[in-house]
Amino acid sequence: MTRVGALIVFVAALAALAGPLLVGVDPAAQDLAQRLDGPSWAHWFGLDELGRDIFSRVLAGARISLIVGVVVVSVSSAAGTLVGSVAGYFGGHVDEAISRIIDILLAFPGLLLAIAVVAVLGPSLTNVVFALSLIGWVGYARLVRGQVLRAREFEFVQAARALGATTPRILIRHVIPTALPAVMVQATLGLGGAILSEASLSFLGLGVQPPTPSWGTMLNAGRTHLLDAPHLTIFPGLAIAVLVLGFNFLGDGLRDALDPATRRQAT
Amino acid sequence: MLRFFARRVGLTIPVLLGVATLVFSLIHLIPGDPAQAMLGESASPQDVAELRSRLGLDRPLLDQYISFLGGAVRGDLGRSLRTNEDVAGAVLARLPATAELAFAAMLTAVGFAVPLGIAAAVWRGTAIDYVATTISLLGVSIPNFWLGPLLAIVFSIQLGWLPVSGRGTWANLVLPAVSLGASLAAILARMTRATLLEELREPYVAAARARGASRARAVLRHAFRNSLIPVVTIVALQFGAVLTGTVITETIFAWPGIGRLLIQSIGFRDYPLVQGCILFIAMTYVAVNLIADLLYGFVDPRIRYD
């Protein structure tokens, strides 16, 4: 399953990087005379309501989805790791204050807060990335805090402290690396989550705006043509499901490889 | 027991205050003048000034904050900019529709996932297990805003069995509930399988079998009962995802609930109504988590002493 996941992610990354160039069809080119035409040899996934080639738009949409996923997960995991390690390492009032902020943010269902933030800031790709990162770091912070609380009692950490290593050095060289495997697993699974969230926001009209091709926006446009052109809905949705499935396979595989306890539980 | 309840309720108060503070600050995140943003660029300065005063935006921030909190406690969340309707009243009027959808989705998920998870654990490594695992992986990966339209294409458009949108009869509820409950079902099925497998390895299950209990009895009366706590935990934790999911599902199926009201209010830049919907959904989520925590304390005494 891990290999299948890796293959799916690899193909999606390739499509995002070179897809529109390889296909040779401009995702924005319109052919109004053939609008809503179904899949054919010339247009594998058919044409949309403006006569644009859905296959090339799905490939171009992969770029948006992966960019959002990678940026959101990078920002969230870096911020969450930093905040979580500070909370776990220093403990006391610092930990108390950070933990309360985490509790408050976790009191919001994740996507709801993103909807709220995008609603006030306005729909755009940048605001989607900002909103998803704003909620994304919380999960990493909680995870890393737990790992660091354990790691700070390790003998090698205490030895580094006794040898006079500075706090940033202890955190960066000794404490944070112990949390990295767990962060890596969460980040891989989080990529799928971020892609789904971006697509959800775009579907609701709060994310990427037309004419930029995004899978969520394409699905939203397909809603009005469910009856006469279901292919507008089928292909972008399939792309989301397959890519998210790929990240889930990959994340599950990584977790099994890095944490034998969960492997025992799952089998 | 009472001390555990009091402590858990006490811990919720700062969270509620934080949630209210975040919702209050939303309106102040609007770039530029919030009143201008709500009315649009073409609004006259008099209209903007009037709205600013109506929303209290011309008062000191602390004043605004205190009056927002006071209003929230009294259930006064202001009035809709578009319809002048009382915000709390508008949200509460849509509550039955959202509650109906959320509960139907959770019931569908539990009704489908628990038997599937049990079957996958009992017949581990067989075709049943592989099918169940594949279904649950697909369920986690398929977005509900795709599943919903797909179900509508098949069951409403092709087969004509179920209505495509609206609320009224049980038939209207089927597609939204299935589309909303699918991902919860997938997570629950995986969780049920994993926890039941753990329990099936315990000696008390073998002891029950040795005493002459049938396999079904050993699984359902002994192992499954003990695997229920993590399963119930997941149901409670996933309630937030279900609540957020209602926003999308209600939009797809034109279901007249709070989620659809939220998206419509965003479209009209009716920020008091946006704040009201978000505050209500977040508070409900906090309350459900609190109730779930209190129930665990009741069910499992070890939790009370942690």
- Whether A267 has a pLDDT exceeding 50, the answer reads no
pLDDT score, position A266: 47
pLDDT tens track for B56-84: 888 888 998 999 999 999 989 888 888 88
Residues B162-166 have a mean pLDDT of: 88
pLDDT score, position B292: 78
The structural domains of chain A, with segments of one domain joined by +, span 50-266
Identify the bridge partners of residue B79 per DSSP, sorted by sequence position: B86
Share of chain A above pLDDT 70, in %: 97
Nearest CA in chain B to A227: B157
B29 with A120: Cβ contact below 8 A = yes
Share of chain B above pLDDT 70, in %: 97
A107 with B140: Cβ contact below 8 A = no
pLDDT score, position A262: 53
pLDDT score, position A260: 53
For residue A259, name the pLDDT band (cuts at 50, 70, 90).
Answer: low
Number of CB atoms found within 10 A of residue B283's CB? 17
- Whether B165 has a pLDDT exceeding 90, the answer reads no
B138 with A241: Cβ contact below 8 A = yes
B197 touches chain A (CB under 8 A): yes
- Whether B27 has a pLDDT exceeding 90, the answer reads no
Best residue of A111, A112, A223 to probe chain B, by most B CBs closer than 10 Å: A112
User: What contacts B226, CB < 8 A, 6 or more positions away?
Assistant: B199, B202
- Whether A227 has a pLDDT exceeding 80, the answer reads yes
Residue B241 C-alpha, separation from nearest chain A C-alpha, in angstroms: 6
Q: Which regions of B25-80 does DSSP assign to beta strands (E)?
A: none
Query: Which residues of B are less than 8 Å from A205 in CB distance?
Result: 263, 267
| Distance, CA of B99 to CA of A212 (rounded, Å) | 36
Tokens of A16: 């995002």
3-state secondary structure of B233: helix
Residue that wins the pLDDT comparison between A265 and A161: A161
pLDDT score, position B264: 92
- Whether A141 has a pLDDT exceeding 90, the answer reads yes
Residues A62-72 have a mean pLDDT of: 93
B282 with A109: Cβ contact below 8 A = yes
CB B227 within 8 A of CB B196: yes
Residue B100 C-alpha, separation from nearest chain A C-alpha, in angstroms: 19
pLDDT score, position B213: 82
- Whether B144 has a pLDDT exceeding 80, the answer reads yes
Give the closest residue to A68 by CA, choosing from A215, A226, A246: A215
- Whether A87 has a pLDDT exceeding 50, the answer reads yes
Residues B207-225 have a mean pLDDT of: 82
- Whether A137 has a pLDDT exceeding 50, the answer reads yes
For residue A26, name the pLDDT band (cuts at 50, 70, 90).
Answer: confident
Query: Which residues of B are less than 8 Å from A107 in CB distance?
Result: 15-16, 18-19, 282, 285-286, 289
What superfamily does domain A50-266 belong to in CATH? MetI-like (1.10.3720.10)
Residues B153-182 have a mean pLDDT of: 91
pLDDT score, position B109: 93
- Whether A218 has a pLDDT exceeding 50, the answer reads yes
Give the closest residue to B106 by CA, choosing from B193, B196, B171, B178: B178
pLDDT score, position B251: 92
Query: Which residues of A are less than 8 Å from B30 in CB distance?
Result: 120-121
3-state secondary structure of B155: helix
pLDDT score, position B93: 96
Give the closest residue to B286 by CA, choosing from B13, B104, B97, B7: B13
Residues A109-122 have a mean pLDDT of: 87
Residue with the two structure tokens 């396979």: A249
Residues B169-191 have a mean pLDDT of: 92
Helix B87-122 × helix B271-299 angle, to 10°: 40
| Distance, CA of B275 to CA of A116 (rounded, Å) | 8
- ipTM for the predicted complex comes to 0.84
pLDDT tens track for B109-136: 999 999 999 999 888 889 999 988 888 8
Number of CB pairs < 8 Å for A and B? 136
CB B162 within 8 A of CB B155: yes
| Distance, CA of A138 to CA of A116 (rounded, Å) | 17
B198 with A265: Cβ contact below 8 A = yes
pLDDT score, position B237: 75
Residues A137-150 have a mean pLDDT of: 90
| Distance, CA of B214 to CA of B217 (rounded, Å) | 5
pLDDT score, position A179: 86
- Whether A256 has a pLDDT exceeding 80, the answer reads no
Tokens of B67: 């009056």
User: What contacts A47, CB < 8 A, 6 or more positions away?
Assistant: A31, A34, A35, A36, A37, A53, A54
